[in-house]
Structure 1
Amino acid sequence: MSSTDDVKDVDAAIVDGKAPPSRSRPLDRDRIVATAIDHIDDNGLAGLTMRRLGSMLGVEAMALYRYVAGKEELLDAVVEQLVATMQVDDEVPDRPVDGWTDFLMRLAHGVRRVALRHPKAFPLVASRPPEAPWLRPPLRSLDWVEKFLSALTDEGFTDEAAVASYRAFSSFLLGHLLLEVSTHGADVGPLDVLADDTDEPDSLAAYPTVRRLRSGLSEDHAAVEFEEALEELLDRLALLRSEQAPS
């Protein structure tokens, strides 16, 4: 990866009679967004600037503005790309094939895989404004919400039960996955976890029970906890479906 000192001077290249660096591999919006995601994956969001992104692509920042209007639009495009990756996940169907429970299980694990592949970028899914104010992250695209709601109503959920399920499902995913990515170095604000070296024995002297159970608290059971919580949620949704079904 290029440093900020390696920014290519397109104007100087042209004055010297050289082809601008971007001529060898033309820019496009997809390439810019993919490079931004790579940068966030490696360095976090804080260091991402249009100038640094241009450096990584071998162009000056001004060349990027033909494809994205600025950093805010770039971040929105990053979120769109992250959500869209589930479209090419073979394990995430567009509609129920083996019932609604299987559909939601696969969908939940698809979202989790996005979070685990891009833990430092995933908080953007929660923080960027959605397409409509009533959409909820992480299932925040109209396309996925349409699939979710139509899948449940086709499987016998009333409209009210489908909407309630969408709210419960999205709340479960967001809460669990933000906590999980925070353990992978993601900046999630007040959810940030303390580094291990801050919990030295002396700092826990006043908390004997915490000190005694510290090793257990440090164990990583994220996958099991996700699965168990998801199963409990699906049981609740099944009850909601039966309670609101026409008599």
Structure 2
Amino acid sequence: MARNAGAAGPDEPGARELTSTDADGRTDADAAVVLGEEPPSSRVALDRRRIVDAALAHIEESGIGSLTMRRLGTRLGVEAMSLYRYVPGKEDLLDAVVEALVDDMDADPEESTAPASGWQDFLQRLAHGVRRVALAHPKSFPLVASRPPEAPWLRPPLRSLEWVETFLNGLGEEGFSDAAAVASYRAFTSFLLGTLLLEVATMGADIGPLDVLEDGEDADPRLHDYPTVARLRPGLREDHAATEFEEALEELLNRIATIRVEL
């Protein structure tokens, strides 16, 4: 996947720094969890998970486009050919990276596999769990959308049969009809994917046609013909990610409540 010319890396102008608060002063609990994580140890024997973890680390540092089996072997201190015992090739490696991201969702202690406290709490916990994965691996997260899912009719980021089963069963237990559960799945995944891809783009992720403008001190010459954009640029540059996520999630839950009654 080629890096966009306009995308900014983590140390480049324009990349949003991950902090535990946003411009509104709102505490971003998801980011706080991510910032407190310990990096994986490098003092373990070579195996598939260690290779995948190294690939994740490389992608976060240098982008998806720079990942090669040779560079990954160098990172791990082995010849590239040694990796093929565990991963047949780069395509299999990228699929394994996606599997690791999904596994991180499974391992999140805040996740709930059943709506013990109601369907709203169930979906809120699920949404925040997916967001924490995106914040922990912003440059890798777009793979969740671009790699083939387990079935062609599954929608990222809830792209595993296990998670979709959990989602549909959870809503069914809360009195959702089959039609309402399916419609809620579509609405929920559309919200999550669109919102989180936009957020990771501000953190330097390559998500295809969406570019991140450089956020330097000098005026961007492209703005000369767009005076309103230039005038409002300070506000456009502010980070309100945590607030916007919460507000959009609340609106989504209200929409799903309506779907539950109508279908």
Instruction: Look at both structures and tell me which one has the larger radius of gyration over its CA atoms.
Output: 1
Q: How far does the alpha carbon of each residue in 1:181-231 deviate from its partner, in whole angstroms, 9 at most, with x for none?
A: 000000111112111239725442322222221111111111111110111
1:83 to 102, 108, 132: 102
Distance in 1 between the 2:89 and 2:124 partners?
Answer: 37
- Letter of the aligned partner of 1:78 in structure 2? V
- Letter of the aligned partner of 1:154 in structure 2? E
Q: How far does the alpha carbon of each residue in 1:93-121 deviate from its partner, in whole angstroms, 9 at most, with x for none?
A: 11111100000001001101100010000
2:181 to 154, 159, 162: 162
2:223 to 201, 204, 217: 204
Distance in 2 between the 1:235 and 1:92 partners?
Answer: 21
2:167 to 118, 126, 148: 148
Distance in 2 between the 1:203 and 1:57 partners?
Answer: 43
After superposition, residues 94-243 of structure 1 pair within 5 angstroms as 94-197=113-216, 200=219, 202-243=221-262
Deviates more, 1:198-207 or 1:226-235: 198-207
Shift, 1:170, TM fit = 0.4
**Larger RCO (alpha carbons 8 Å, 6+ apart):** 2
- Runs of 4+ with >3 A deviation: none
Distance in 2 between the 1:201 and 1:182 partners?
Answer: 19
CA separation of 1:135/1:55 partners in 2, compared to 1, >3 Å: closer, same or farther? same
Q: Which residue of 2 aligns with 1:31?
A: 50
Q: Which residue of 1 aligns with 2:59?
A: 40
CA separation of 1:145/1:99 partners in 2, compared to 1, >3 Å: closer, same or farther? same
Q: How far does the alpha carbon of each residue in 1:146-170 deviate from its partner, in whole angstroms, 9 at most, with x for none?
A: 1000000111001111111111100
Distance in 2 between the 1:160 and 1:166 partners?
Answer: 10
What is the SS of the residue equivalent to 2:127?
helix
Q: Which residue of 1 aligns with 2:40?
A: none
- Letter of the aligned partner of 1:167 in structure 2? R
Shift, 1:127, TM fit = 0.2
Q: Which residue of 2 aligns with 1:9?
A: none
TM-score (norm 1): 0.86
Distance in 2 between the 1:190 and 1:199 partners?
Answer: 25
Deviates more, 1:109-118 or 1:196-205: 196-205
- Which 5+ residue runs of structure 2 have no aligned equivalent? 1-42
Superposed CA RMSD in Å reads 1.5
Deviates more, 1:199-208 or 1:138-147: 199-208
CA separation of 1:166/1:198 partners in 2, compared to 1, >3 Å: closer, same or farther? farther
Higher helix share: 1
